[in-house]
């Protein structure tokens, strides 16, 4: 499972005493992002959700393959602007502060995704020009309840109606359409495309009715393309998703043509004189695959009938399996280690004094010894940046970006 270049670097890093380590495969990331770009070309713009992994090397590597970046804080905005001053940026996220709105004016963003009427009122009060989408949270079948109805994100129809009233008196704010991030970890591309269809079926009539002056309406469908931690070699079906979005786009255009032919709602200001633009904001599904968390076995023990391998580091470096409740996939890189070898079932834990510091429960291993290396895969997204680094004040990992042929 581990790319040869990553395996070689992992062994070098271990020999240098630099474990635990994050090792990233940049050629692998280019190949994957290039495949996503090729699949999505012509159906939707792709903005990378920086929250998944904001490392500078990752952002620079991705930039040739994406149309822009989605940020969710002033910190992420400042980082992207510093590294990639010309990249289009969409700024989402609940609870934007006045300081963040000021930073938006200073650094410029392509789109600001408004989360509430209160946020819109504060934005309007600045008097500054800004291009926006309204983040909508319609209660649609197929939406994930954690991102939709049972969440504080975005606005229901009442909140959106308040925004419509506020926008009437604020011509310096330009509304371009709707943002709807309504799902999470969805593996089924046709089901995601069906959700996109429902978003369009709700959003476009809503825009036409309430904000007919919106030309070139945009629909940002958010992220949520799944990563299967139990099947690390599988990928979200980007070609199927793209094909479904393309046919949705064609349907929306032919609806438009029939409206125009029947003389309905044509002409400037109708909001129906240009096709719809689709955008997506994947995070996990772009960067998860090309990061590894590499460490070594400090102790192998048996207690109460169960075997444990205690690893250097732990979930304070790689919180992903605890946060999601899964077993992190891994590969053992055997070293010329002395001591007894374990073949059988073992639970891989870290150095923290909490029973939740579990990276993989009940794994099958062959000949595992103290000193062997363990490389956890799918550790390129929501991994280091999601973890509680300072708990117990263990040393931080080292970081390595494998590049070149
Ligand atoms: C608004 C928004 N867009 C995009 C994403 C990225 O989602 P994922 O990493 O699941 O693709 C998130 C994640 O929380 C989000 O909140």
Burial of 240 (0-12, 13-18, 19+ CB in 10 A): middle
For ligand 1, pick from 283, 284, 285, 323 the residue to mutate: most ligand atoms within 8 Å of CB: 283
Thinking of the domain 291-402, which architecture would CATH place it in? Beta Barrel (2.40)
**pLDDT at residue number 175:** 96
CA of residue 52 to ligand 1 center, whole Å: 8
Mean pLDDT along residues 138-158:
81
pLDDT over 60 at 123, yes or no: yes
pLDDT over 90 at 268, yes or no: no
**CATH class held by domain 93-280:** alpha beta
β-sheet bridge partners, residue 337 = none
| Bridge pairing between strands 358-368 and 173-179 | unpaired
223 in contact with ligand 1, CB cutoff 6 A: yes
Rounded Cα distance between 14 and 6, Å, is 12
| Distance of alpha carbon 376 from the chain centroid | 19
Determine which of 111-115, 260-264, 393-397 has the lowest per-residue pLDDT on average: 260-264
Distances (CA, A) of 374 to 234, 285, 307, 328, 340: 21, 23, 16, 11, 17
β-sheet bridge partners, residue 22 = 293, 399
226 in contact with ligand 1, CB cutoff 6 A: no
Domain limits, the chain: 93-280, 291-402
**pLDDT at residue number 254:** 63
Identify which of 201-205, 259-263, 289-293 has the greatest average pLDDT.
Answer: 289-293
CA of residue 181 to ligand 1 center, whole Å: 7
Task: Name the residues annotated as catalytic.
Answer: 353
CA of residue 178 to ligand 1 center, whole Å: 15
CA of residue 333 to ligand 1 center, whole Å: 33
Mean pLDDT along residues 123-143:
92
CA of residue 347 to ligand 1 center, whole Å: 31
Distances (CA, A) of 152 to 93, 116, 134, 183, 375: 11, 10, 14, 14, 37
**pLDDT at residue number 255:** 64
**pLDDT at residue number 386:** 95
282 in contact with ligand 1, CB cutoff 6 A: yes
52 in contact with ligand 1, CB cutoff 6 A: yes
Nearest atom in ligand 1 to the alpha carbon of residue 226 is 10
pLDDT over 50 at 371, yes or no: yes
Residue nearest to atom 10 of ligand 1 (CA): 224
Write down the mean pLDDT value for the chain: 92
379 in contact with ligand 1, CB cutoff 6 A: no
């Amino acid at each position: 499972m581990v790319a040869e270049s990553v395996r070689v670097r992992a062994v070098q890093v271990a020999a240098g005493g630099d474990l635990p380590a994050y090792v990233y495969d940049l050629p692998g990331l280019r190949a994957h992002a290039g495949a996503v770009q090729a699949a999505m070309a012509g159906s939707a713009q792709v903005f990378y959700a920086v929250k998944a992994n904001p490392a500078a090397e990752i952002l620079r590597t991705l930039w040739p393959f994406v149309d822009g970046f989605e940020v969710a804080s002033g910190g992420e905005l400042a980082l992207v602007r510093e590294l990639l001053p010309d990249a289009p940026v969409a700024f989402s996220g609940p609870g934007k502060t006045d300081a963040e709105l000021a930073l938006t004016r200073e650094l410029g963003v392509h789109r600001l995704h408004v989360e509430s009427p209160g946020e819109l009122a504060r934005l309007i009060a600045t008097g500054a020009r800004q291009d926006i989408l309204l983040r909508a949270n319609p209660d649609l079948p197929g939406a994930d309840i954690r991102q939709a109805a049972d969440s504080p994100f975005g606005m229901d129809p009442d909140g959106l109606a308040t925004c419509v009233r506020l926008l009437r008196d604020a011509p310096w704010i330009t509304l371009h359409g709707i943002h709807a991030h309504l799902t999470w970890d969805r593996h089924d591309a046709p089901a995601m495309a069906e959700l996109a269809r429902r978003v369009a079926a709700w959003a476009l009539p809503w825009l036409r009715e309430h904000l007919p002056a919106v030309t070139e309406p945009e629909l940002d469908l958010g992220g949520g393309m799944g990563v299967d931690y139990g099947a690390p070699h599988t990928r979200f079906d980007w070609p199927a998703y793209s094909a479904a979005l393309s046919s949705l786009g064609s349907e929306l255009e032919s609806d438009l043509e029939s409206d125009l032919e029947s003389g309905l709602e044509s002409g400037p200001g109708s909001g129906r004189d240009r096709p719809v633009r689709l955008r997506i904001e994947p995070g996990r599904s772009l960067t998860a695959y090309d990061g590894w968390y590499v460490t070594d076995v400090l102790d192998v023990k048996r207690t109460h009938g169960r075997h444990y391998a205690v690893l250097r580091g732990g979930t304070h470096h790689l919180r992903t399996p605890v946060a999601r409740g899964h077993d992190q996939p891994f590969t053992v890189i055997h070293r010329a280690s002395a001591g007894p070898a374990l073949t059988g079932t073992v639970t891989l834990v870290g150095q923290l004094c909490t029973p939740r510091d579990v990276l993989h429960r009940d794994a099958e291993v062959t000949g595992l010894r103290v000193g062997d290396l363990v490389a956890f895969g799918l550790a390129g997204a929501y991994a280091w940046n999601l973890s509680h680094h300072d708990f117990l004040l263990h040393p931080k990992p080292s970081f390595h970006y494998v590049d070149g042929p």
